[in-house]
Structure 1
Amino acid sequence: MSFLTLNSLSKIYGNFTAVDAVNLEVSKGEFVSLLGPSGCGKTTTLQMIAGLAEPSAGSVMLDGREITREKPNRRGLGIVFQTYALFPHMTVAQNVSFGLEMRKVGRAARDRRVAEALALVKLDQFADRYPRQLSGGQRQRVAIARALVIEPPVLLLDEPLSNLDAKLREEMQFELRRIQQTVGTTTIMVTHDQGEALSISDRVVVMEHGKMTQADVPAAVYDNPATEFISSFIGKMNNIPGIALRLGIQSSGVILPATDCPATEGEPAILSLRPERITIVPAGQGHLHGVVSARFFFGSHWLFNVDTAVGQIIVSWPNTDGSLPASQGQPVGLSWSPESARVSARTQETSRIDA
């Protein structure tokens, strides 16, 4: 049963439609990420849920109650911004306690709930410190504790980890998920970071040009993207244009196999293949032949650029034992399981991506 429901939610500024009739149902306790590039409408959607932006059309329902026109303070939602917005003159405990004081919660109950919130984010030993005495990750956890201490029905996160360095951001992703699962609060997070959304969400909602283009579990969004935009935006993807066959495509005179072929046979089509699903094999073997033009080291894996008859193909190779399958300038073959390739009809959108 839906706990938070967006019904045809829209926001229009003059002639510009920022959010276009978004429909979304979120279950109680679910962690949902709104994912998309800058300007896609994800933050505006969050602001309409929070009451910080008034919808041009549509409605917001919370636990069966319409809150579309309610003031933000009447909704009782917890909000964490990317800037933390902590009070510099207040201690950690005072920052976390502020929302409870505004709600006139008694001193004893307030102290208990603040202590519980700080323990939850592992900052109970920092209660008397000021924000300037904390690291970026610690300040972020204070902001999360302040939002959770009021026991909100929904927690809204607006790019909450964007100000952290790469390593700390990754650590905080898992910490954020741990906190959310411990409390069980329904959570909506806005992010442009694909890895962040895929790793900690129950569902990912991909937005493009104000529209919701796919809402699904992370693995389905990654493995079965609904549009060519999603296939290229989330992770890396090799998009190879050609003519649809019954089991694959023909491109530049080469037949490339696939089993998922909804495109009409004989019509323009595109084969999509993730770099990590491709295996480098000796020259003369595999489905496609080429020459390694470049390789890049990322620690846990290598990326190879392979020039082929159908264009440059990206291959991801895991760094399991330090060995490499090919050197720069070496002829190689490329192989993959047909089940891992996806064929779809070629659209104008696909042509823009290829350009």
Structure 2
Amino acid sequence: MTLVDGARSRTSDHGVSGIERAKRRIGAYAALAKPRVIELLLVTTIPAMFLAGREFPDPWLVLATLVGGTMAAGSANALNCVADSDIDKVMNRTKRRPLVRDSVSPRGALVFGIALGVAAFSVLYLTVNLISAVLAVATILFYIFVYTLVLKRRTAQNVVWGGAAGCMPVVIGWSAVTGTVEWPALVMFGVIFFWTPPHTWALAMRYREDYERAGVPMLPVIATPEHVAKQIVIYSWVMVGWTLLLAPATSWLYASFALLAGGWFLFYAHRLYSGVRAGEKTKPMQLFHRSNTYLMIVFVALAVDSAIGLPVIGLPF
């Protein structure tokens, strides 16, 4: 922080009560955890727990898993803010994050992130099981050391392989109920894995200049809009097809919603591609927001299907 920044900070705090300063500090640390990102992760964790038992899971187990999972995700996000603080300073989308605004020190954010990770392991180990706790820590380490520090700044495939970290909540949710990792958990992992590129590339198309200025080689930065839109369509088709692999572990209800939601999302993915090819002004953020809705529909259908307990389709052998 420069002398001028420090003076501004002191001026902005002048006349502010101790309670208000405490609220601001708590809000800054909460922002490090990126709560809006965590919300999406939790939307997938609970349905995975429903599917694991094909019934309502124990509410206390759900609560413990969500608390531990929230801490783990918050840890990864806070540590990501520390590692990416130089990038965040030059991107309009991220320039209001706590480290950029000096509302939290790098050391404070680092300690906060590590403390959340330790707390996540402790909560999951003591209240859920060891495998869920280990998976949560492995996710944090993968997100920071593989995605943030290695892949993000070096390859356009960063969100493809780095996105695996965002797929882990469903595996953790499954293991919390069963104590194991079985094929339905891996299929749910795959759904989110193939969902991540269309979701993230649509956002990156909108903020292409931000990523280019920060030196992050997102696909929209190094490839033509037509190529990016084509890749979005390809991954969308694979994603929709992958959701149907869960049919043997569910009933006709889930399969129907997966098909309908998939067709809905594919329509907009193809419309984006057609617009780009025709040279029209497109709105990739619409697809970005619809991708969130799509994922929610698929996983809510999974939870409802499991809660109702309809007969499963089953494997053909």
- Shorter chain as denominator, the TM-score bin is under 0.3
Structure 1-normalised TM-score?
A: 0.25
TM-score, normalization by structure 2: 0.27
Q: Larger relative contact order (C-alpha < 8 A, sep ≥ 6)?
A: 2
